[in-house]
């Protein structure tokens, strides 16, 4: 039996960022550990199924949604090798027992906001299994996030469990400032293990052939500069921004499947196509972490909007805020919920972000952060040689 490394993360969601973070981590470990089988631990707590979306329904949208669902499922099966016998549960002990039986040499937790207690876990009174029990005897490392969760939001009866878990990790890589502070608040005994590390998608090498072939096939031509608005259409700001930028001569598109206006839609894309499409945007306004990151990867101007208070700490820190801070853009290219409710303020920030955009500086910083990610992954691989 070959030696194995397991990646414990979100991988089942039909979301390009979720897919690419799992895929990038997989490739980073495969490259460094060629003598090991690297696989996604086939644990989920929510079974992805095709569901009709609420709101406006049309035959065209229904067909496109189903095609996207099938395409994602097929791509996941093709590109993300998994352990056998899928387990779907929120039960901590059941999940831990399943992982023990896989007999891994190393487990990598993350990357994503896997450490956060989600409503399903809170309702069941369960700790997320991503806080691995100390008695799983293998090398344990992470590159993960708690999102905007703070220790005072977690029931005190779980504090000791979380502390024992994180202290049993060999390396504690975290993706954002809030998670860094969260780990320290747990009483991490050896803070030399704690490190702020860029998301693994920073190492993904974009192949622009994917998006260029799609646009050619769909006969999409860009006769106007494009503004991409990736916000929930239930937020009034979404369509208000579309109307504003269209009135100024831009082609404003909604990067989602729920747009009710034909002129706002954009071709449904695979994660590999989505990774490269950002190079065509004159500006992106998004509430997504990976939407922000891939805008920066493509050297496109971006404004990140935390439109829900739950995604941001009382101190104003969120995962997108922390990401922008790495590029020195957190004070200029970020909007919290209060400011985002003001259309004029959002437009002012977005216009300034586009006007002051410095692709050369972003490219230099991107290179430095990519090196930081690779350095961390080298430390991870070195644990197997010790």
**pLDDT tens-digit readout, 370-379:** 999 999 999 9
Residue 362 is assigned to a structural domain of this protein: no
Residue 365 is assigned to a structural domain of this protein: no
Pair 184, 49 in one domain: yes
Q: Are the beta carbons of 114 and 130 closer than 8 angstroms?
A: yes
For residue 103, say if its preceding peptide bond is cis, omega within 30 degrees of 0. no
Pair 167, 214 in one domain: no
Pair 71, 93 in one domain: yes
Pair 280, 172 in one domain: no
Pair 247, 190 in one domain: no
pLDDT at position 50: 67
Pair 224, 315 in one domain: yes
Rounded CA gap, 385 and 378, in Å? 11
Confidence check: pLDDT of 258 > 60: no
Confidence check: pLDDT of 24 > 60: yes
Rounded CA gap, 146 and 88, in Å? 21
pLDDT at position 129: 97
Confidence check: pLDDT of 27 > 70: yes
Residue 364 is assigned to a structural domain of this protein: no
pLDDT at position 264: 76
- With a CB cutoff of 8 Å and minimum separation 6, the contacts of 290 are 16, 17, 20, 21, 199, 201
pLDDT at position 130: 98
Confidence check: pLDDT of 381 > 80: yes
Domain count, the chain: 2
Read off the CATH number of the domain in which 78 is found. 3.40.50
Pair 308, 257 in one domain: yes
Q: How confident is the model at residue 79 (pLDDT cuts 50, 70, 90)?
A: very high
Pair 60, 110 in one domain: yes
Residue 89 is assigned to a structural domain of this protein: yes
pLDDT at position 251: 92
Q: How confident is the model at residue 71 (pLDDT cuts 50, 70, 90)?
A: confident
Residue 246 is assigned to a structural domain of this protein: yes
Confidence check: pLDDT of 339 > 90: no
Q: How confident is the model at residue 118 (pLDDT cuts 50, 70, 90)?
A: confident
pLDDT at position 278: 96
Confidence check: pLDDT of 1 > 70: no
User: How far is residue 28 CA from its own chain's centroid?
Assistant: 16
Pair 81, 164 in one domain: yes
Q: Which of 35, 2, 195 is nearest to 111 (CA)?
A: 195
Residue 361 is assigned to a structural domain of this protein: no
Residue 363 is assigned to a structural domain of this protein: no
Pair 38, 186 in one domain: yes
**pLDDT tens-digit readout, 221-250:** 888 999 999 998 888 899 999 999 999 999
Domain range for residue 335?
209-297+302-356
pLDDT at position 14: 85
Higher per-residue confidence, 261 vs 227: 227
Pair 289, 375 in one domain: no
Higher per-residue confidence, 330 vs 266: 330
Q: Are the beta carbons of 112 and 10 closer than 8 angstroms?
A: yes
Pair 14, 48 in one domain: yes
pLDDT at position 43: 96
């Amino acid at each position: 039996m070959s030696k194995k490394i397991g990646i414990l993360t979100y991988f089942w969601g039909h979301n390009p960022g979720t897919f690419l973070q799992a895929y990038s981590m997989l490739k980073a470990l495969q490259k460094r550990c060629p003598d090991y089988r690297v696989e996604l631990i086939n644990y989920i707590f929510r079974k992805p199924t095709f569901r009709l979306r609420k709101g406006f329904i049309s035959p065209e949208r229904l067909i496109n949604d189903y095609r996207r669902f099938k395409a994602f499922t097929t791509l996941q099966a093709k590109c993300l090798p998994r352990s056998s016998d899928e387990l779907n549960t929120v039960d901590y002990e059941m999940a831990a027992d399943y992982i023990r039986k896989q007999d891994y040499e190393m487990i990598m937790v993350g990357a994503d906001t896997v450490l956060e207690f989600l409503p399903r876990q809170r309702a069941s009174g369960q700790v997320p299994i991503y806080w691995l029990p100390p008695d799983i005897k293998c090398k344990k490392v992470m590159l993960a996030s708690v999102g905007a969760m703070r220790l005072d939001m977690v029931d005190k009866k779980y504090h000791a469990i979380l502390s024992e878990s994180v202290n049993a990790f060999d390396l504690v890589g975290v993706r954002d400032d809030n998670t860094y502070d969260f780990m320290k608040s747990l009483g991490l005994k050896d803070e030399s293990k704690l490190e702020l590390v860029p998301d693994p998608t920073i190492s993904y090498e974009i192949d622009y052939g994917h998006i260029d072939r799609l646009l050619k096939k769909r006969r999409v031509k860009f006769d106007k500069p494009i503004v991409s608005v990736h916000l929930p259409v239930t937020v009034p700001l979404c369509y208000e921004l579309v109307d504003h930028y269209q009135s100024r001569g831009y082609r404003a598109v909604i990067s989602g499947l729920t747009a009710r206006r034909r002129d706002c839609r954009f071709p449904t894309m695979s994660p590999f196509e989505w990774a490269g499409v950002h190079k065509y945007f004159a500006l992106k306004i998004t509430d997504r972490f990976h939407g922000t990151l891939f805008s920066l990867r493509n050297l496109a101007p971006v404004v990140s909007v935390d439109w829900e208070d739950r995604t941001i700490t009382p101190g104003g820190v969120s995962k997108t805020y922390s990401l922008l801070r790495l590029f020195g853009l957190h004070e200029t290219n970020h909007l919290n919920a209060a400011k985002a409710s003001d259309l004029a303020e959002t437009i002012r920030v977005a216009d300034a972000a586009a006007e002051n955009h410095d692709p050369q500086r972003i490219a230099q910083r991107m290179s430095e952060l990519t090196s930081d990610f690779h350095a961390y992954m080298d430390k991870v691989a070195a644990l197997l040689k010790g």
